[in-house]
Each structure stands twice: as structure tokens, then as C-alpha cells.
Structure 1
Amino acid sequence: MRLQLLSDLHLETEAFDAEPAPGADLLVLAGDVDSSWEGLKHFRDWPVPVLFVPGNHEYDRRDIAEARAGLHALSDEHGFTMLDDASRVVSDEQGRRVRFIGSTRWSDFDLFGERERERAMRAAGYFQRVMAATVAGAPFDAAAVREQGLRCRAFLESALAQPAQGSEWDATVVVTHFAPSLRSCDPRYGRQPGTASFCNNDEALLPRAGLWLHGHLHCRHDYRFEHAGGSTRVVCNARGHRRKGEADGWQGGRLIEVFAEPVA
């Protein structure tokens, strides 16, 4: 199965028309497509199925619960499959079944451990003020983000712990907006408290998937996380902002093979 992965298009400010990648079996939208939601219409007549995991900016200036419900309704209207703490098994032309597990996976701010959590949450205050989102009438602050992040982590841990019964799937792909490892940090900023607003420490979960796709960082990554059972491939194909030079060299039409493609 060949995947096209797009994220961080930020169509609310960027003039850009995405094009289908020749040979793709599936399009994965890993969040921050358009904070206004208007740009999501661009993908409603896509020639292959679309899996959509919302990013943090899909919730900008909205109530979190109301936005989740609205995004589900919009995804149904456009014919997407929205993976919001949910799983879906998709078969390719060869009959191989791929289980996709999707979650925004908000930050829990434990990237650098419990002792650094408070500093990370203080740094997150800036990003939450930019989002200007609410939850049950209160600001969607760092504490509320952590609560959502822990909920997402519990879902992923439970979903990845489920054994395939009767060979229900042949491979597992996880899609999150936030990154699963510090190895995905933006080299421009490196290790600093604010990095915990972009990366989580989900390395203990990585061995349970063959491929982990994410967005959020406005840079590209393609690496192998080695573990006792082999390795898990981690890929980010975020476009970012052209005005900042982040889209330079970006390849929106690249294909990611689920089954046994070596990393260049």
C-alpha cells in the first residue's frame, strides 16, 4: 500500500493547491490543513480514500468539544474517514490489510520527564494563547491540553495492545499530529521547554507499529526507531509556511510504502 502524506498546509494563510500523487492508494492528512476548515473542501473529490487526523490548529478559536463534533460532521460531508482516537482497517489491491490508528495526540508535556513538566507547561502558554480555544467555557490552557494528551495516550496504548485475532490486519500504521519522539524535533530549535508542545515521548509505543506518521513540526523527517523487535519507520512530511522558507524542498507527491520500503 502506497500512501501520500500531507500536513501543515496552513491553507488559512498559504495559497497552495495540493495534487494527488500518481500511484497513491490512500491520502493521509495529518493535521493543520486549514484552521478555517475551508481548505478541507479541496480534498472532497480526491481520487483515493482520505484519512484525516485533526491538528491543533483545526481547533483555533473554537470550543474543543464543539469543534470535534463539527469536524466529524464535515468529514462525513466530504467523504473523509476522520481518525479521532479511532482505528480503521483498509485493504490494498493485493488484499493486504492495514490497520490505521489515528489520534491528534495532544501534548502531555512529559517529553523531558516529570521534573521538567512545569517548565514545559509554562512554555506552552504562548502556543495556547495563539490558539485561543476553549473547553467547557474555560481557556484551553496547558493543563487542559495535558488532560487531552493523557486521554489520547491511553487510547493509543489500548489500541496498540490489541492483538490481531484471526489475522485481521497485516500491518499497523499510526497517524498522529504531534510527534512521538524527541528525534522529530525541529533542528532550528532543538531541545528546549517549548519542544514539549510539539513532541511527546511515545517511544515505548513505537515498537507496536510498523510505520508512524505525524505532522506539527514544520520540517521533514524519515528515520528508523530501532527496538528489540526490529525497527519502526517514523515519517513527517509537513509543508509549513512558504514565507518562512519551510516549504523549500518539500515533496507533496512523494509516496510512502507501508510494506518493506527501505529508507533512503
Structure 2
Amino acid sequence: MKLQLLSDLHQETESFAPEPAPDAELLVLAGDIDSTWKAFDAFRGWPVPIIFVAGNHEFDGRELNDAWPALRARCESLGITMLERETCVRSGADGRRIRFAGTVRWCDFDLFGEAQRDKSMRAGSYFMKVQRSTLNGEVFAAPQVRDEALACRAWLADTLAAPDDADATVVITHFGPSLRSADPRYGSQAGTASFCNADDDLLPGADLWIHGHVHCRHDYTVAHAGGTTRVVCNARGHTKRGESAGYDALRVIAV
């Protein structure tokens, strides 16, 4: 199956017109499309199926308990399949059945281990202030984000461990699954734990892992006892920071 990948379009501030890749069979939106949700209209009537996993900025200034059902309804009205701790199976033109497992997979701040968790959470408090979200009426701060992240991880671990009859498994998360996915501009500083998780042990459960969030592009392969897992990020980012330079919005990868 040939997949077109888009993420981190940030249409709340960016001017970008997405176009279908001519040879794509499915479009994956890996989060941070538009914090206002208005730009989702651009995907109405898209010529191939769309699978969407939300990013953190889809919840800017919102109460999560209200935002989740509203965002799902918005996607359904546009014919977009939204996954949050859910799976779906789609068949490619070659007849192969591909299982997609999707979740935001919020950051649990354990990227550098338990000993660095408090430091990472302190660094992460800045990003939570930018997001300005609430959960159950309380500020969606680092401890609450970690709780949500651990629930996402538990679901993903159980899902990847369960038997299935698909020909391949694709994981879609907004947050990166490994320090390998860190933005090279920031590397191993504490704030990177707000962008990536230490999910390296889950990689063997996937043939392909797609993510966004880091505002740079990645395409690397991780070898393990079960074979290899390809990790791809095709995030656009912000023009004013030079992150969108050279962005290939029509890029297609095969799984």
C-alpha cells in the first residue's frame, strides 16, 4: 500500500494547500493539522481514504473531555477516520491487508529514564502552558499528560502483542517513539522528552511507525530480532523558523 504522509501543517498560522499525491492509496495525517480545526475542510472529498491521529495542538485551549467527541464528529463529517487507541484494517491495491494502530501517545517524560523524569517534566511544563488545555476542568499539566501517555502506551503495547491476521502493521502516533526521532537542533536536552518517548521496545510490533511533532523529517530503520521497523516522520513545521524548507508534501512511501 502506498501512503502519503502529512503532519504538523499548523494551518492556524501557516498558509499551505494540501494536494493529493497522484499515486497514493491512503493519506495519513499524523497530527497538528490546525488548532482551530478549520483547515480540516481541505480534506473533504479527498480521492483516497484518510486516517488521522490527533496532535497536541488539536487541543489548544480546549477541555479534552469535550474536544475528543467534537473532533471525532468533525472528522466523521468530512469522511476522515480518526484513531485514538483504536485500530482499523485497510487493503491495498495489491490485496495486502494493513492494520493501522493509532494514538496521540502523549509524552510520559521517561525518554531519558526515571532518574531524569522530574527534570523532563519541569521542562515540559512550558509546552503545557503554550497548549492551555484542561482535563476534567483542571490544567492539563505535566502530571496529567504523563497519566494520559501511560494509558496510551499500555493500550499500544497490548495491541501490538495481540495476534492478528493482517499482512503488516502500521503504528501512527503524534509523538516520536525513540530518541532517534529527536530534532537534531535540540538533541538530548530535557525538553526533547516532550517530543519523543522511549518506545524502542515496542518497535518490533510494527512494520512501519509514522509520527509527527518534531518539525523535522526522519526516515530510519531499526533492526531487531523480529526483523526491521521503519520509522518515518514527514512533518512540515513553521515557515518563519525555516522548518518547511524543502518539504515534500507529495511524498509517498510503501508498506
- Tell me whether the two structures share a fold, i.e. TM-score over 0.5: yes
Deviates more, 1:98-107 or 1:67-76: 67-76
CA distances 1:30-59 after superposition (whole Å, capped 9, x unpaired): 000000000111112110000000000000
1:242 aligns with 2:239: yes
Distance 1:70 1:158 in 2: 27
Partner of 2:121: 121
Distance 1:5 1:83 in 2: 15
Distance 2:163 2:23 in 1: 31
CA distances 1:92-122 after superposition (whole Å, capped 9, x unpaired): 1121100000000000000000010000000
1:98 aligns with 2:98: yes
Which runs of 5 or more residues in structure 2 are unaligned? none
Partner of 1:8: 8
Q: Please report how far the alpha carbon of residue 171 of structure 1 lies from its aligned counterpart in structure 2 after TM superposition.
A: 0.3
Partner of 2:67: 67
Q: CA RMSD in A?
A: 0.6
Secondary structure at the counterpart of residue 117 of structure 2: helix
Distance 2:226 2:159 in 1: 19
Distance 1:254 1:236 in 2: 11
Aligned length: 255
Partner of 1:82: 82
Which runs of 5 or more residues in structure 1 are unaligned? 259-264
Secondary structure at the counterpart of residue 205 of structure 1: helix
Q: Please report how far the alpha carbon of residue 230 of structure 1 lies from its aligned counterpart in structure 2 after TM superposition.
A: 1.5
Q: Give the residue type in structure 2 aligned to 1:221.
A: H
1:225 aligns with 2:228: no
Distance 1:130 1:94 in 2: 44
Distance 1:209 1:148 in 2: 22
Give runs of ≥4 in structure 1 deviating > 4 Å: none
Alignment TM-score, normalising by the size of structure 2:
0.99
CA distances 1:122-180 after superposition (whole Å, capped 9, x unpaired): 0011000000000111100000000000000011001101112xxx3100000000000
Partner of 1:111: 111
State percent identity of aligned pairs.
58
